[in-house]
Structure formats: structure tokens, C-alpha cells
Structure 1
Amino acid sequence: MQQLPILFVFTFGAAFLASLPPGLLNLNAAKTSVEKGKTNGLIFALGVALAVMLQTYIAVRIAKLISRNQHVVEILLQLALVIFFVLAIVFFLKGKKHENKPLVLVETKKRNSFSKGIFLALINLLAIPYYSGLNTVFHSQGIMSYRIIDEVLFILAAGSGTFLAMYLYVIYFNKWEHKTTSFSKNSNFILSGLMVLLFVITAFRLYN
């Protein structure tokens, strides 16, 4: 039980940072807020968070299945090591760019804000391998076990971390859109740092 707060905080932070850089979901949350009001923006964000929780549930099931084969776990950790290293470099280089590119809002068909949030989040299939890999790393470190309470907490943390990032776009987008370069640069540096941290944790698990 002592690891549960750590599990929640780490998962919440990973979900929040992964959702923070400008992308399809958070920019559509901002767009919905601008066009239909902040309430609809928050409803859209809630739909995104719910879809992420569903994807996280699938990711946990995949990670749990894989964890039964230690050889497969080691292979996946080695793969995760490479992925985290590459992503750290990619996000760092993105953060180093100084082009003053405005945030571009993505046009989508008009539909209910909640269902639109669910739909756009579900087509972002990268969330499943991301949370599956995160789950595998946490499990290897003893932070995550496969009791029901651990799984529920992991899923809730992923959903709430994502919702917070969407919430910030909905509430503060009008202030952020005038500081695009600084915001994008800093968020990418933070995400790069997260990848480095995951790289170190995974390397420690593999070679100790």
C-alpha cells in the first residue's frame, strides 16, 4: 500500500507531461472552448480523459499479459530503453527550435463536444503502447503490481493527468497563444527530461 501514492503521482505526472505539448487533442480542447464556451471545452476534455482511461485499461491488460514472460519483459525493456533515448533527443531538438510558429487549431466536423473528445482521443493509438510501456517499467521497479487497487489507481491517474492538461488549454489558451514559442519550447524540454528519467530507471532495472 505504501507505493500507491508514488504510483499515482508518477502516473499523473507522466500523463500530464505527455498531454502538455501542443497537439490534436489539447488544441481542439482550446478550439471548442473558443467557439462554444469554456463549459463545452471542459466537456470535450472530459471525453478525452475518459477515452484515455479506456486506453490505459487496455494497456494494463497488455502489460499484465507480457509480465508473465520474464524474457519478453527484458526484451521490451531494452526496446523501451531505445525509445526513451530517441524521444529524449527528439523533444530536446524540438525545444531548441526558435521559429515563431503560431498554434494551429485543427478543424473538425461539428458534433457533440463529449463524443468528439472521445472520438479524437480513441484514434490516438499511441496512448496504448505509451501506457503499456510505462506500466511495464513501473512494475519492474516494484511501484506497480497487478492488484485491482493498483490498476484502478493507475487508470485514474492517467485520466486525471490528461484532464488537467486539457483543462489548462481550455482555461488559459487566450493567454498562451501569444507565447507560443516559449510554451512549446519549455514543454518539450520538460518532456525530454521525463524521457531521460525513464531511460535511467529502465537502464538501472536492466543492468542491476
Structure 2
Amino acid sequence: MQPLILFFATFSAAFIASVPPGLLNVNAAKTSVEKGKSNGVIFGLGVAVMVMLQTYLSVRIAKYLSRNPDIVEMLMQLAIVVFAVLAIFFFFKARKDGVKPLKLKEGKKRNSFSKGMFLAAINLLTVPYYSGLNSLFHGQGFMNYKVIDEVIFILAAGLGTFLVMYLYVFYFNKMERKTNKFSKNSNYILSGLMLVLLIITLIRVFYH
């Protein structure tokens, strides 16, 4: 039962984190338009493989931090500043973008798989996101840093991400029409999420 909970919790977290229109999923749709759906799927596989590599690194970081509480306290204090900056950044980005429609832009045609891996690699929020998620699951008791737990966590993160890429490849046009309002306000949503994380972190620091 515990492995199933870990899988579906991680899969859901990866799916939700990948749904808002951004660098990776929009490029998956663009690759599909420019080079065909098969190349779009290959691009998505490249993204998923890199996410799994980043998730493996996240597990190692979370495991190390769980054994060094002093470092955790320092990072939590740093996280307060990071979340505050990100909340402000996404808020003003949303104000600046206004109601611009989501559009595909022309780009150079490269190897789809390596392009997916490269773009995923420069997404710097992946490692801290999954590291924090891993620590949260460990605190809840269904991530115990056994080999099977780590494998499930990494695979679920990759599969959840790939599913979103797949949906953008095959259903982008429909998704754009039906979720245009969400697309325009995704930065407000991210700003609100950063604010919530900031408040939670503040409570944890002062409570500790």
C-alpha cells in the first residue's frame, strides 16, 4: 500500500507541476507542429529522462539533508528569501504579460530528444522542487529512502512529466482553446503558490 501511495502522490505532484504552460510543454507542442507528433513524443521522452536524472539528484540531496538538521535550518531561512523573490517575480510577470495569447514560435530544428533533455536541464526549479517534495514525503512516513522507494519516486516523477508532454503534443490546440483563461493567469497562480510556501516556511522556522 505504501509504494502505491508514494507512486500516485509523486505522479500527481509531477503532473500538476508540469501542466501550466511553460518552456517545456509549449516546446513539446511546437516540436509536434514543426516536425510531427512522433518528434514531439521523442522530445517529451527527453524531458522525462532529464527529470528523472534531476529527481535522482533531488533524492540524494534530501537524504543528505535529513541527516544534517543544521543545514536544513539554514536552507529554510534561505528559502524564505527565495520564495519571497519568486512570488514577486511571478506577480509582476503576470501583470506585464497581461492577456497575451499563448502562441507557438518558430525555432531551430534540432534532435528532439537531446533538445528535450537540454531544455529540461536548464529548468533550475526541478531539483529544489523534488528535493522538497521528497523531504515532505519522508516526513509523512511513506518515503523511507529504501532502494524501491527511490526507484518509485524517480519513475513516478518521470511518468507524470511525460504524460503532460504527451497531452501537449496531441491536444495542444484543444487545450489552448479550453484553458486559455488559465494560461493567462498561470503566473498569478505560481505567485500565489510561492506566497503559500513562504508562509509555510515562515511558520516552520519560527515554530522551530
Could you tell me the TM-score, scaled by structure 1's length?
0.80
Q: Report sequence identity in percent.
A: 70
Deviation at 1:188, TM superposition (A): 5.5
Distance 1:104 1:98, change over 3 A: closer
1:70 paired residue number: 69
Q: In the aligned structure 1, how far is the partner of 2:199 from the partner of 2:43?
A: 35
Give the count of matched residue pairs: 207
1:51 paired residue number: 50
2:161 paired residue number: 162
CA deviations over 1:144-185 (Å, ceiling 9, x no partner): 221101111111111111111111111111123335641315
Distance 1:50 1:63, change over 3 A: same
Distance 1:125 1:190, change over 3 A: closer
Unpaired runs of 5+ residues, structure 2, are none
Cα root mean square deviation, aligned: 3.1
How do residues 48-127 of structure 1 correspond to structure 2 at under 5 angstroms?
48-77=47-76, 79-80=78-79, 99-127=98-126
Could you tell me the TM-score, scaled by structure 2's length?
0.80
C-alpha contact (below 8 Å) 2:101/2:184 kept by paired residues: no
C-alpha contact (below 8 Å) 2:98/2:184 kept by paired residues: no
The answer as to 2:134 corresponding to 1:135 is yes
Q: In the aligned structure 2, how far is the partner of 1:108 from the partner of 1:71?
A: 46
Q: In the aligned structure 1, how far is the partner of 2:103 from the partner of 2:74?
A: 39
- 3-state secondary structure, aligned to 2:177: coil
Deviation at 1:104, TM superposition (A): 3.5
C-alpha contact (below 8 Å) 1:140/1:205 kept by paired residues: no
Deviation at 1:140, TM superposition (A): 2.4
**More deviation, 41-50/112-121:** 112-121
C-alpha contact (below 8 Å) 1:27/1:106 kept by paired residues: no
Unpaired runs of 5+ residues, structure 1, are none
Distance 1:171 1:118, change over 3 A: same
Q: In the aligned structure 1, how far is the partner of 2:83 from the partner of 2:14?
A: 15
Distance 1:193 1:79, change over 3 A: same
Distance 1:93 1:16, change over 3 A: farther
Q: In the aligned structure 2, how far is the partner of 1:132 from the partner of 1:84?
A: 15
1:41 paired residue number: 40
